Amino acid sequence: MKLTIVFAGLLGVFLTPALADTDINIGGDSNSGISGQQSVSVNNEPNVASVDNNNGLDSWNAMWDYETNFAAVRLFKQKVCIAHRMKKDAMPSLQTVDALVKEKELQGKGPGGPPPRSLMYSINSVRVNDLEKLGKPIAGMCRGIPTYTDNELERASLFFYSRMCIRTNTLWILKLAFCGTLIVENH
């Protein structure tokens, strides 16, 4: 019995760093227009990164599943999940996210490095019926709420959609905008 408890304790010590969360303050000064706190989790076993942005009514969760190549954002105020294919040349690799989390490189730095990548998506109005095709982690995050997919917009569409978008800024390295009448109706 004692051997089992010791083994379980040692296993916990060795697994904790691989599954640890890092809190990153994304606000601070009133001029930045950003407030709240982001927590990042990287799990290398299923190759998933998740970001929790805690900012009152404007809170959201993002999940990047590197196995299925899908990403999703759960917008709490709008009570929807939006899923899309990850764009490999814009999304940071899991190893990059993991390194940033472990080094706490982003802690308190804010917008000081290279400009973040920006992507804009148009939300499809048809609900996703089979969440499992998005992968188990995203299906678990989006289960029980309306889930939609989206299509990437080209820069020419930016002006047309500018007032019908919800924006998520992730770790000062990626800015995503989710646009369409669905957002305006649920906003």
Query: What whole-number percentage of the chain has pLDDT above 70?
Result: 65
Asked whether residue 24 is assigned to any structural domain, the reply reads yes
According to the model, what pLDDT value does residue 3 have?
42
Is the pLDDT assigned to residue 77 strictly greater than 80? Answer: yes
Q: What's the total number of domains in the chain?
A: 1
Tell me which of 57 and 13 has the higher pLDDT: 57
Is the per-residue pLDDT at 25 higher than 90? no
Per residue in 133-149, is it b (16+ CB within 10 Å) or e — as a string?
ebbebbbebbeeeebbb
Q: Give the pLDDT score at 49.
A: 92
Given this model, what pLDDT does residue 152 score? 87
- Would you place residue 81 in the very low, low, confident or very high pLDDT band (cuts 50, 70, 90)? very high
Q: Note down the domain range covering 24.
A: 18-186
Choose from 19-23, 90-94, 127-131 the range with maximum mean pLDDT. Answer: 127-131
pLDDT of 69: 94
Q: Does 33 reside within a domain?
A: yes
The answer to the question of residue 2 being in a domain is no
The mean of the pLDDT values for the chain is: 75
Is 9 part of a structural domain of the chain?
Answer: no
Q: What is the pLDDT of residue 144?
A: 96
> Is 12 within the bounds of a domain?
no
Q: Is residue 155 part of a domain?
A: yes
Q: Which of 16-20, 50-54, 108-112, 140-144 has the highest mean pLDDT?
A: 140-144
User: Strand order in 37-43's β-sheet?
Assistant: 21-25, 37-43, 48-54, 60-65, 70-75, 80-85, 147-152, 117-127, 174-179, 165-170
In a domain, 119, yes or no: yes
What local confidence, expressed as pLDDT, does residue 12 receive?
A: 39
The reply to whether 11 falls in a domain is no
